[in-house]
Amino acid sequence: KMASSSAPWIGSAYLFLQSTCKTIVLPSLYESSQKKPSVFKALKLALADSTGSMNGVDMLKVHCSHPHLIVQLKFCKQENCRRFLQSYREGALQESLQSHLQLSLAITRVPLEMELKAGNEHLDNMLKDEDRCLECIYREKPDRLRDEEITELEEYLKSLIVHQSINNNITVQGCPPPNSPSLPCSSQDSSLSPQVTFIFQGQQFANRTLTPDDHQKFAKFVSKKWKQVGRSLQKNCRALRDPVIDNLALEYDREGLYEQAYQLLLRFIQSEGKKATIARLIAALEENGLISLAEELLGLHSNEDCS
């Protein structure tokens, strides 16, 4: 067995990408501040297509090593990794990425060569033996945390999607558009209909989606109470339902409290999208007596320590 039923299935691989068209150099496009978000968007959408989920595979870092663009991948579920391998083997991933690059960059079709490695193993040589590929990927544990640049690009992509959604559907305050399949506005579940403002310590604050700065402050200052905050958030967040929080504690035990807290909030943000609001986090902090941290996130005492 590759993993016991209680332990999370985690593996890592590197996806090497190269354009066979001399006028399209992927590393150069990614190194361009203007083109980088478009290349990242194409990668994100193609990987989502390959696993059937936006969270099926995590990009930890994108390396520019001319002429290759190298994407370090992390898989947290065997079934997602299996779907990815099938998509890669059948050429669906290649087709999807070519299509998304063409749309994102507004250029002609991008002919791609792809190669997949796990450690010293070239998986392209053993794609017909799916179980062996899975074993190689599982054996290679991620050697890094997600790059800050990737987190920023993820946030940018989310804000872009939210912005487009707002532009396409001018909504009544706090309510979905009339033709939306979303649940009705009368729901009391704050995860379904985020309020525009909220009250904290008698003051009114604008509600907003969580930012990378919020994310880092939370991870830095929440300390040992990250699990308690997670259990408060899980009431309205399926992605944090048991045993996710305990699995995070085990998976990131070596990295320490900061990384455990960071990964908790990352799960929340990834699953809730624009509904991952400051109001929901502040409510969870209040519930667990973390008033100082709540004040820090709301800018009420920028120079004081939250510990």
pLDDT of residue 93: 96
Phi-psi label, residue 298: left if phi above 0, alpha if psi -120 to 50, beta otherwise: alpha
**% of residues, the chain, pLDDT over 70:** 84
Q: How confident is the model at residue 202 (pLDDT cuts 50, 70, 90)?
A: confident
Q: Which residues contact 135 (CB under 8 A, 6 or more apart)?
A: 2
pLDDT of residue 162: 64
Mean pLDDT lowest among 47-51, 95-99, 105-109, 294-298: 105-109
Q: Does 263 fall in a domain? A: yes
Residue 178 has pLDDT above 60, yes or no: no
205, 201, 229: which is closest to 215 by C-alpha?
229
CA distance 20 to 17: 10
Q: What is the CATH number of the domain that holds 71?
A: 3.30.70.680
State the burial class of residue 22 (Cβ atoms within 10 Å of its Cβ: 0-12, 13-18, 19+): exposed
Same domain, 20 and 122: yes
Give the total number of structural domains in the chain. Answer: 2
What's the start-to-end Cα distance of the chain, in Å? 42
Question: In the predicted model, what is the mean pLDDT of the chain?
Answer: 85
Same domain, 149 and 86: yes
Same domain, 23 and 118: yes
The SS3 of residue 119 is: coil
Query: In the numeric block, which tokens belong to residue 216?
Result: 């880092």
Same domain, 147 and 205: no
What is the domain range of residue 238? 197-298
Mean pLDDT lowest among 102-111, 163-172, 263-272: 163-172
Q: How confident is the model at residue 274 (pLDDT cuts 50, 70, 90)?
A: confident
Q: Does 179 fall in a domain? A: no
Q: Does 3 fall in a domain? A: no
Same domain, 18 and 138: yes
pLDDT of residue 234: 93
pLDDT of residue 195: 63
Same domain, 130 and 48: yes
**Number of alpha carbons in the 13 Å side-chain half-sphere of residue 43:** 28
Q: What is the CATH number of the domain that holds 252?
A: 1.10.533.10
Q: Does 29 fall in a domain? A: yes
Q: Does 142 fall in a domain? A: yes
Same domain, 81 and 210: no
